[in-house]
Each structure stands twice: as structure tokens, then as C-alpha cells.
Amino acid sequence: MDVSSAVSPDLVLEATQLVAKSSSSVEIELDFARPVAVGGNPTFDSMSTPLGPTGEVVRAEVTGNAKISRKIASITEEVDVLASEAMGELVDSGTGEAQISRMLSSGLLGREEGRKLVPTRWGITATDDTLGKRVWDKVRFLPSLDKVLVFEAEYLDNRFHVVLTPGSWAFHMMEAWTGGSLWSETGRVLGDWEEGSPRTKYASRVTGAYYSARLGVLEYLESIGRSGACLIWRDIGPGYWAPVGVWLIRETVREALRGKGRKFDSLEAAIGFMSDRVSSPNELRKSWFANRSIQMRLDAF
């Protein structure tokens, strides 16, 4: 479909939008242009959940009852609200990021004349980025943390260390693909960061995982009424043999921050503690975040 078809959807897109608005699974009948092969390997993507058999749809009809909340119904019918504002209202009403990104992808958000279909990868990142910036705008005015905190969590052979430090906002995410993992035979470390305010240039090394992790951190800071800076180290082991989407990053970071963090008097002490627990301690010690405090800042004068 053309990206601008959201302004005047056909029957197939209307059915897609109805499914996207529903808070539960919906029965749907599909007619395909040609037989669809069932079986074989699913399609994997680092951003979204695995996909099964696919084919060209020529007819789609929702045959079950779609459960649509009043808030979602009113937001999608409102044609003068920006997509970013709509996302904020939806998340405040309890709508999850996954459903918001589906609604964005299917052209249900934004002003009527500007509504567009959004590729899934872009929709997920746009949702996490927009919601993260919204929370950051509140967090930046809060009093700073007074201790360095380190949190840990592990899921599907992904091990996360989340470091929170006092001071103005900065965020650095590092991903270590250990030897024998999905996309690295010998191992490699990637990283992206921002300082002072949310980045405007796409995090091309860590990609969508960056924005999902940042959202979880900002939510936590808002919940405790504090501001600060953050370093996330993610070790990805060979047991993570199939990517399941960036929800893993978002939810595992949230799970880590629900735990009881270890307290340290300095970032150096926290880095020393982590050095025995991560796959590439030298990369950690040489990281931008670990060395940013060494540089003289203007506010020191």
C-alpha cells in the first residue's frame, strides 16, 4: 500500500486498522492472491517479533468482535491532534507501547490530512523515542540522585547492567555481542550516547534497542522523582539464537530497575564492580560514559 493511503483507506486497510485498535486478538478472514506455504522457518528481525507465513492479501474481513477502549476510539477519531500528543494521551490511559506502535504503523495517529502508514521498524522506534522525550521533559527538572546505583537483570541469555549516576542527563548504551552469538563469531562491542538532551540523530549502532532501553530508564527516574545520567551494558550470549524484538530490551531494563540496586560512592567504584561481571571489561573502562567525568566541564568554573 502507498504510505498516504491512510487518508482514504480501502477495505483491507480498514480491517488492519480495526485489528490495530483492538486490545485483544480478533478473528479475521483473509483471501490471498496465491496459495501461502505453511511451515518453514519464520522471518526474524531485531526490532519486531518473529513473523510466520506471509502472502499478498486481496481481501480482509474482521469476523470477530474487536474490543476497543473508549480512549483509543476517541483518539483515532480526533483529526486535529498531533501523533506525538496522541501517543502521550494513550500511554497515560494505560495503552501499551506495542499497541501504540501498531496504531502508528497502520496510519491511525496524527492529523487527518497528514496520516501515513509507517514501516514497523520505524513505528516501534518512533513510539519509544517520542514517549521517552516526553518523560525526559519532566525528569530534567527533578533533583539529582545522590548515589551511584547499579541494577542487573537477565533474560534469554541477555544480561543487562544499568548504572545510574548523579548529575545532568546523559545516556550511553553499549551492546557486547559475545563470541558465537547471533551476529558475531568473534565478539564485538557497539555503543551510542547522548548528553544534555535526547539525541536528534538516529542511534545507528545500537538502533532501536537504544530508544527502548532509554524509555525504561526515564520512566524509573520519573517514578522516584530524581534526575541523573545512565550507562547500560548489554551482554548478548550465544543462547540468544533468534531475535524476538526490542520489547525484550524495554522489559528487561524495566525488570532490572524494579530490583534493589547496589549503591556506590563513585562511578569508578561501580565500574570496578561491573568489570568482573561483563564480557569486555576493557571496553567498559574505555567507554565514553566512564571517562566523561574526567573532562573539565563549564559548570566547574
Sign of CA dihedral 251, 254, 258, 264: positive
Which region among 40-49, 83-92, 134-143, 188-197 has the lowest average model confidence (pLDDT)? 40-49
Domain segments of the chain: what residues? 3-118, 148-300
Cell of 282: 576493557
Q: pTM to 2 decimals?
A: 0.90
Percent of the chain past pLDDT 90, that is, above it, reads 79
The residues, ordered by sequence, that sit 6+ positions from 225 with a Cβ below 8 Å of its Cβ are 142, 143
What's the pLDDT tens digit per position in 221-240? 999 999 999 999 999 998 88
What's the pLDDT tens digit per position in 132-191? 999 999 999 999 999 999 999 999 999 999 999 999 999 999 999 887 655 555 568 999
Q: Cα–Cα distance between 14 and 62 in angstroms, integer? A: 9
User: Is pLDDT of 130 > 60?
Assistant: yes
The pLDDT-based confidence of 287 (bands split at 50, 70, 90) is very high
Looking at residue 301, its pLDDT comes to: 43
Cell of 106: 497502520
Average pLDDT of span 117-130:
95
Looking at residue 37, its pLDDT comes to: 86
